[in-house]
Amino acid sequence: MPSVTATSRPVNEGWKFTHVGGGEVVKKDEWISVKKFPTTVHVELLEEKRIPDPFIGLNEWDVQWIGEAEWSFKTEFSVADEEASASNADLVFDGLDTFATVLLNGKEILQANNQFVAHRVPVKDTLKSGTNELVINFASAFRQGREIEKQHEKLHLWNGDSSRLHVRKAQYNYGWDWGPVLMTVGPWKPIYLETYNARISDIDIRIDIPGNLTAHVDVQFTLDPPTKAKASVTIKKPNGNVLIGGTNIPVTDSGVAKFKLSRGVYDAWYPVGYGGQPIHAVEIEIADEQQNVLDSKSQKIAFRRARVVQDELIDQEGRTFLFEINNVRIFCGGSNWIPADSFLTTMTPDRYRAWLRLLVNGNQNMIRVWGGGVYEADAFYDICDELGILVWQDFMFGCGQYPAYDSFLKSVEIEAEQNVKRLRHHPSVVILAGNNEDYQVAESYKLDLDYSDETSDFRKTNFPARHIYERLLPSVVEKFSNIHYHRSSPYSGFGKPTTDKTYGDLHQWNVWHGSQEPWHNWDILAGRFVSEFGMEGYPNIRTVDYWLGGNKEERYPQSRTMNNHNKADGFERRLELYLVENFKHSFEIESYVYYTQIMQAETLASAYRLWRRNWKGKGREYTAGALVWQINDCWPVTSWAIVDYFLRPKPAYFTIKRELKPFTVGMTRKEKKTFPDELSAAVFTIETVLEVWGTNSTLSEKQATLEVTSFDLHSDWTDTWTKNIVLAPNSSTELFKGDLPGQPKRTKLSEIPKTIIVSARLLDKSGKVLGRYSN
């Protein structure tokens, strides 16, 4: 008698692949066994040593043919009589990259064209007892994209080939200003065979927690096909004990269980540094009228109240843009995340954990999953839940004037629905943003963009993707989750352009890009929430030597190989601009690498230091977050990353870690020029003003001693003073403003100021250093 319980097993053995039509690397009709599954072509050819490593030298350009070829994967798998006789049998494809035709036993069962979409295909009538053959034929995503673009139109973009805008594939595969052109292809996610009489097809757990922190839990689940059954729903504590539950819930096509938990009954989830991260589990079991278990599912959840607060400020124009968790307002110090490898099938849970642990160890509490990559693997979000990392999640649109024709919209809607459903139960995910910088592209190319228009359909304008970001995506998010939706990153709202510093989030690229401001100006470049900013720096010298591949003749700045491993536009001029403004430096490679790293470290630490000062308490949260671009790389490269591809932190990682400690101290010194005679420009006084402040991210005030030591670099003069201070909770506190000790006032520009170094420290009662900074 066949089992009535739903079963699922991977189809992951015996896979082979071939280059359709053959070529120099893979001959015609030559089938190569894959080393692991899921996989993609580059990974397998590298394992076979049939192609050079594209991460070394100029090899990237010798493997471009892979992305323009057609490939086929096939396997045979056995099906037991019991499986074949089940009422339902489905093949589930978690992800195919990208244009794929699937055949089972010679019959076409699926055509796929979106890397971000999973497919469930009923195969009961095609499956047979014994041996079954599964074949997946992949067309070239690059060539398909070019063909689709010809049928529609060429659109504006930054980075990559314009055809990418028509293809629902990881956009960074087309090349970015930090990444190579490596067009992956293959079955990049698992494939399963599932058999069942009835299965739980969807679980939707909504936890509504108002200001009094009473949790209202709705557990909704759907049965496929509709079946008369009974369900039990149990919420379990992290230790496995039952928190609350219900039994004998009647089900036909769907069921629901509702629970109410007062504050104190459940353990709340907090971001790292503010409390614990207890992960609960919801367990659902469905049984038929004979008490036979039809299916069971478990989903992890946590209890937390998350809000994006956009309130008017007390004494500045604009509104806040901040995250509040369980009624606690959080300053978000964190990083942007790009895919951690050009070949995503090589990413393991251990590699994700190593990256995310590095982030937490660096005192960071938020990560932004950037919109030109992928909706990350489940393991990524599970680890963020566990470690208390807040996740800003973009939808996968980046730096482009995307289309909005019917077939594109249909694919995007399925993609959005699936990924919202997949991510909605994660307590770490606190915001979903429609895209990365697409409104900035529209502003740059002067596309149709009337921010006061809140009613149009937008599909007939020259910025048709506005329909996606303001109509399609928000409706999907609202229907399938309780997560806050933000139209873009950056996006100001309230009728303001994306560059407005008083509303929404801001990408502050006027250091490096834009007007190329000195990095000392971060304080006047601040926004309400700076979700991108950065400075380039070379990686560890061992990483440089890796991509050189032993080629000593290329071991100097701006060699062909070095230039191929820095994709940023105009990087030679911009690196040198910031270097020459701050250092006397050498072009000998070890020194050059070091100076770029120190420059990056000083630049980024300054931003965090100055912007944390703007977190001044409720109603005065002038800057509520800073997310550096970026924490990671997808290959060995010189980029804005603070940790290189091989998980080797740059000095910037450590200076940011220092600036995000619970207690910090900061200083600025600025020259003030006054004219006693307003009719004269020749008579003036120049004085140097020193300002000192401290920050405290804990929820309790902190008593400490401020110690300030000044010394003249060219004499034995020193000066030290101390002051008892109290750091306000969850806020910055101004500690001192006055003349710079040891610096005389000047009345002539020809007078050379003294070289005064100032060191500030915060000390607790035992003399332990809580924070330090020298200026």
Q: Which residue has the tokens 């109290």?
A: 726
Of 151, 144, 172, 42, whose CA–CA distance to 567 is shortest?
Answer: 172
CB under 8 Å to 41, separation ≥6 — which residues?
17, 66, 71, 184, 185, 186
Beta carbons of 665 and 760 less than 8 angstroms apart: yes
Pairing of strands 429-433, 663-674: unpaired
Backbone angles phi, psi at 300, to 5 degrees: -80, 140
Beta carbons of 360 and 204 less than 8 angstroms apart: no
User: 235: how many CB neighbours lie within 10 A of its CB?
Assistant: 22
User: What is the 8-class DSSP label of residue 27?
Assistant: -
User: What is the 8-class DSSP label of residue 128?
Assistant: -
CB under 8 Å to 594, separation ≥6 — which residues?
none
Residue 444: burial class (beta carbons within 10 Å; 0-12, 13-18, 19+): middle
Beta carbons of 747 and 685 less than 8 angstroms apart: yes
Rounded CA separation 525/507 (Å): 10
Rounded CA separation 1/35 (Å): 37
Rounded CA separation 194/64 (Å): 37
CB under 8 Å to 222, separation ≥6 — which residues?
200, 201, 202, 253, 254
Rounded CA separation 166/148 (Å): 7
Q: Which residue has the tokens 């995000």?
A: 660
Cα four-point dihedral sign 348, 354, 357, 358: negative
CA atoms within 13 A on the CB side of 326: 20
CA dihedral 304, 310, 314, 316 (to 10 degrees): 140
Of 106, 133, 17, 110, whose CA–CA distance to 66 is shortest?
Answer: 17
Of 624, 408, 606, whose CA–CA distance to 504 is shortest?
Answer: 624
Query: Which neighbouring-strand residues pair with 615?
Result: 621
Question: What tokens were used for 396?
Answer: 């996968």
Pairing of strands 306-309, 769-774: unpaired
Rounded CA separation 569/733 (Å): 40
Give the residue numbers annotated as catalytic, written as ranges: 437
Q: Where are the beta strands (DSSP E) in 397-517?
A: 429-433, 484-486, 506-507
